[in-house]
Amino acid sequence: MSDSITMEKEYQQAMEKINELLKEQETKQKSEEEKIAEKYAEMNQTPWPEEALAGIPKACDLVYEFYDWKDEDGYASIKVFMSQSEAEAYFAKLKDLVISPDGARRDNELIWVKGAGDGFTLSCTYDTHMNILSITYYYQ
């Protein structure tokens, strides 16, 4: 009986060690994502164009580039460097606001949504390798 008690204690100790290692790995992963987010946030220097993009929430305070071709081609384009978790949170926000009721779709490299609202249609794509969110806002 003492052998089984000893084995049980060793098993519990091993499981505790595994859980500690998993927590350490998770902490390292979070800090790496935070570093990436900070690096990309530095690249975003243009204020979010609230007036031009009525009806959609801000993805962040600053964007990398913004072009408004409303008068020429009927759309605006935004590019934002951000982490994947930030992009996923933005896509969830679009779903919650019923702009994109079906939510995000994904493949190996891209996460994307399509949606619509009062006076616009929308296409958002996040490139997981480049860490860039591209938003195309079509005026109606």
- 30-64 pLDDT, tens per residue? 677 777 767 777 889 999 999 899 899 999 999 99
The predicted-structure confidence for 62-91, as pLDDT tens digits, reads as follows 999 999 999 999 999 999 999 899 999 999
The predicted-structure confidence for 92-117, as pLDDT tens digits, reads as follows 999 888 888 888 899 989 999 999 99
C-beta of residue 130 within 8 angstroms of C-beta of residue 97: no
**What's residue 18's pLDDT?**
84
Task: Please check the confidence at residue 1 and state whether its pLDDT lies above 90.
Answer: no
Domain residue ranges of the chain, discontinuous segments joined by +:
1-39, 44-139
**What's residue 101's pLDDT?**
83
DSSP letter at 58? Answer: -
**What's residue 61's pLDDT?**
93
